[in-house]
Amino acid sequence: MPFAPRLIALLHPPLSHPKLTLRFALPPPPTPPLRTLAPLDNLPPLPEYGSAISIKNLSFSYPSRNSFDTGGQPLILNDLSIDLPKGSRCLLLGSNGSGKSTLLRILGGRHLTKTDDMVRVCGMNAFRDTKLNFYRAYLDCDWGMRTVAFAGGGVPLQADVPVHGMMTKLQEQYPERRDEIVDMLGIDLNWRMHELSDGQRRRVQLLLGLIRPFEILLLDEITTSLDVCVRQDLLQWLKKETEERGATIVYATHIFDGLDDWPTDMMYLSDKGTCEWQGKLNELEYYQELKRNNHPAKMLAVADHWLRAELNERRKKRKLEKAAGSLVHEADPTLRQGGYASGRAIDMSTVGKQPTRTGRISDVRGNAGKMDMVSRTAGDNMEVS
C-alpha cells in the first residue's frame, strides 16, 4: 500500500521527539477547474427601443397596514415623468423616504403599476415582460446581510459554501467576464460564505449579479460596505460598461465622493415624492457654477444644496405644528411610547360608528378588535368570521 501522509495525519497524532515535532499539514483545496459553456444564444430578443427607461405620470402608494383605514394613503411617488436615454449613468438623489428604493423596485419589476404603459424598460412593461430578467439586473443592500433566525431565503447566502460553487452554470457561461469581475473586486473563489465579512459578502453579491451582461442595471445603496479602493474600481468598471456596451445604469446612493464626473444624468426626488429635476448633468446650472469655481466636492455640494432646503423646511413645519399642538404622535401616549404592536388594542375613536356598507370583517388577525368593532358599529348586517 503506498505511503499516504494525509491519511496518517488524520488517523494519528503528530510524531513527537525531544528535539523534533513533525506535523502533516493539509494543503488548501484547489479551486476546481471551471467548465466552459457557450453563452446562451437563445435568449428572447429585445425589441428595438428608444429610451432605456420611460415613465409617464407615475403615482404609487403602499397599501395601509390598518384594516380599518378607508382613507387614501400618502403617495410615495407623485406624478413622475422620466425619460432616460440608452447608455446613461443616472445618479438617483433624494433624502431618506423620498421613494428612491420604491422607484428602483418598480423599474426592477417588483411592484405592479396601475396601467401597463406607465413604466417601460427597454420598451417593455417593467412588471409583465419577464424576458427583461435576462437583460435587467437589480442589486440592493439586503442580500445576505440579515441574520438568519429561521429557515428562509437568506440561508444559502450565509451557509458553508465556497464562492466558486454558487451559480456555477452562470459562471461557466461567462468565464472571461467572471474572471474580470473577480480581479476587479478582489475576490478569492475559495472564500466560504459563512466566514465572510459584510464587505466581502457584498463583493460576492456584485460578482453574481454582474456576470451576465446587462442592458439595465439598478443599484440601491450597493456600495455601502465596500472599501474605498474596491468602490472606485467598481465605479470605473461600470463606467466602461456604459461606454463600451451601451448599458444603462441607475444608481441610488448617499455617498458622493468620487462621483463628481461619474454620472451623465441626474434625477432628484423630493420628500414629497415628486421629481424636482431630471436631465443631463451638464445642463444643471448649479453644478456648472461649482465646476467653474473648482469646488472640491461638486456632487456633495449639489446634494447638500437640495436636501438641506428640504430639511430646514421640515424642521420649520414641525416647530409650527408643535406650537399649534397638532402633533398626533406626541399627543397620543401609546404612539409616544413606540406605537401599536400587532395584537394590541387599537384606538377606535377615529372609526365611524355606522358601517358604510354591508360586508364581512374577516381578514383581521386575532386580538385586533373585531368584536369591539362590531359592538361599536352595532350593525345588524355585519358578520364576523
Question: 378-382 — which CB contacts under 8 Å span 24+ positions?
Answer: 378/353, 379/354, 379/355, 381/355, 382/355, 382/358
pLDDT tens-digit map of 101-160: 999 999 999 999 888 889 999 999 999 999 999 999 999 987 755 555 555 455 657 778
Calculate the CA 241 to chain-centre distance: 20
d(C-alpha 154, C-alpha 297), whole Å: 38
Amino acid at 221: E
DSSP string, 190-243: T-BGGG--HHHHHHHHHHHHHSS--SEEEEESTTTTS-HHHHHHHHHHHHHHHH
Q: What is the pTM of this model?
A: 0.74
More confident residue, 54 or 44: 54
Angle, helices 198-210 vs 228-245, to 10°: value is: 10
d(C-alpha 214, C-alpha 46), whole Å: 12
β partners of residue 278: 267
Q: Are 203 and 226 contacting, i.e. CB atoms less than 8 angstroms apart? A: yes
Helix (H) or strand (E) holding 22: strand 21-22
Give the domain 51-60+73-144+154-307 fold: Rossmann fold (3.40.50)
Q: What pLDDT, on the 0 to 100 scale, is given for residue 350? A: 46
More confident residue, 30 or 170: 170
Average pLDDT for the chain: 80
Q: What pLDDT, on the 0 to 100 scale, is given for residue 71? A: 52
- Contacts of residue 163, defined as CB under 8 A and 6 or more positions apart, other chains included, come to 187, 188, 189, 190, 191, 192, 193, 204, 207
Residue written as cell 460596505? 225
More confident residue, 337 or 287: 287
pLDDT tens-digit map of 251-283: 999 999 999 999 999 999 999 999 999 999 999
- Give which of 109, 95, 54, 100 is closest to 77, Cα–Cα: 100
Percent of the chain with pLDDT over 90: 56
pLDDT tens-digit map of 151-199: 545 565 777 889 999 999 999 999 999 999 999 999 999 999 889 888 9
- Give which of 225, 196, 222, 195 is closest to 209, Cα–Cα: 222
Query: Residue 191, class by beta-carbon neighbours within 10 Å (0-12 exposed, 13-18 middle, 19+ buried)?
Result: middle
- Contacts of residue 125, defined as CB under 8 A and 6 or more positions apart, other chains included, come to 116, 117, 119
d(C-alpha 321, C-alpha 161), whole Å: 54
CB atoms within 10 A of CB 289: 12
More confident residue, 126 or 43: 126
